[in-house]
Amino acid sequence: MAYRPRLAAGARILPSEITPKEVYFNRRALMAGAAGVAAMTLLPDAAVAALETTPSPFSTDETPTPLEAVTAYNNFYEFGVGKDEPARYAEALTTDPWSVAVDGLVARPATFALEDIVPKVQEERIYRLRCVEGWSMVIPWVGFPLSDLLARVEPLGSARYVAFETLERPDEMRGQRGFFQALDWPYTEGLRLDEALHPLTILATGLYGEPLPNQNGAPLRLVVPWKYGFKSIKSIVRISLTEEQPPTSWSRQAPREYGFYANVNPDVSHPRWSQEKERRVGPGLIAAYQPTLMFNGYEEDVAHLYAGMDLKANY
């Protein structure tokens, strides 16, 4: 049987039923060989309209984490703090229509409809993702450089930071309702402008060749692969350029534990656990550990951004 994407939010799939990932990659090879990337949309068994992508030299050749794990094991506190809750409850989120305000210190502030900022052909970027909690995945994202969007609004010379904001819509996000709320909403994140303009930094609209499932941050999320996962803010509705370093959700929640930078760094431990190693998420009871790499393995590309900086103080 051909690969059939099972992206429906809330679908419950046993890890033992995982689609062999080779099937996904065989399909990619086949399409590249036969009719090029555009053929993807013609595949009859695609449940959702597949996205047009081109491969990227930034992609890792590590084996991607199975789709079922990427879409069933998530941190997205807007839908609950359990890892399985986003997959169960994110279906409630309306992602169409969607608009993103890009404002602050820019020459041409605007509120864009999602369709107006997503290029017709995007890139596939297979990135490592390292969660601050100690687990990791390899995810084939579909997206485009954040710098492309920022160029359209023309940042002013005074802009030094970029602030991001997630949707706040308690009606559809059950983690934003009730007595116990894990964080102050809306979720906010931030990057230095040079980090935001770095070619590795993308806005993603899909994964595994398909539009993002809601639990993964649909319809538009940030992906900054050399930083801990919580920096890669989901379901973005606002991007603002600022002069001051913007407040970020986790550093407001626990400033001693989560800093603004949150660069993956095996030498700087979280106050409550070590960051020296990571578990590749997968169905086996015997966890697959591997050493965590400086800047999550993107050291060559990004180390220069932090030259001369004390990375222990700026965690």
Partner 1 sequence: MAATARTVVEALNGALKRVPVLPLYFVALAPGAWLFLAALTGRLGFEPMKALEQGLGLWALRFMIATLAATPLLDWTGLRLVRFRRMLGLTAFYYALAHLATYLALDQQFGWSFILADLAKRPYIIIGMAAFAALVPLALTSTDAMVRRLGAAAWRKLHRLAYPAAAMMALHYLLLVKSWTAEPLAYAAIVVVLLALRLVPRRAPRRAAGRVAAQQA
Contacts to partner 1 by CB under 8 A: 14-16, 68-69, 72-73, 77, 81, 83-84, 133, 135, 179-180, 182-183, 253-254, 269, 272-274, 276-277, 279, 281-287, 289
Q: How far is the CB of 253 from partner 1 (least distance, A)?
A: 6
Q: CB of residue 1 vs partner 1: minimum separation in angstroms?
A: 20
Q: Considering the complex, what minimum distance in angstroms separates the CB of residue 263 from partner 1?
A: 19
- Number of Cβ within 10 Å of residue 138's Cβ equals 19
Q: Kindly state the smallest distance separating residue 269's Cβ from partner 1, in Å.
A: 8
* Residue closer to partner 1 (CB basis): 73 or 144: 73
CB of 16 to partner 1, least distance (A): 4
Coil, helix or strand at residue 310: coil
Of 15 and 109, nearer to partner 1 (C-beta) is 15
Q: Provide the 10 A C-beta neighbour count for residue 237.
A: 17
Smallest distance, Å, CB 136 to partner 1?
Answer: 11
C-beta of 282 vs 297, nearer to partner 1: 282
Q: Which is nearer to partner 1, 37 or 129 (CB)?
A: 129
Closest-CA residue to 142 (of 257, 250, 64): 64
**Measured from the CB of residue 97, what is the shortest distance to partner 1 in angstroms?**
32
**Largest pairwise CA distance in the chain:** 56
Name the strands in the sheet holding 236-242, side by side, starting at the edge strand that comes first in the sequence: 110-113, 99-104, 236-242, 161-166, 188-192
**What's the token pair of residue 87?**
């997959």
Contact 258, 271 (CB under 8 A): no
Q: How far apart are CA 236 and CA 96, in angstroms?
A: 13
CA 10 → CA 16, 73, 88, 90, distances in Å?
17, 11, 4, 7
Give the nearer residue to partner 1 in terms of CB position, either 217 or 219. 217
The CA angle 125-123-226, to the nearest 5 degrees, is 30
Q: Strand 236-242 vs strand 202-207: parallel, antiparallel, or unpaired?
A: unpaired
Nearer to partner 1, 44 or 180 (CB): 180
Residue 74 and residue 76: Cα distance in Å, rounded? 6
β-pairing, 202-207 vs 135-145, is antiparallel
Q: How far apart are CA 18 and CA 65, in angstroms?
A: 10
8/305 with CB nearer partner 1: 8
Counting every residue written for the chain, the total comes to 315
Q: How far is the CB of 233 from partner 1 (least distance, A)?
A: 16
**Shorter beta-carbon distance to partner 1: residue 174 or 192:** 174
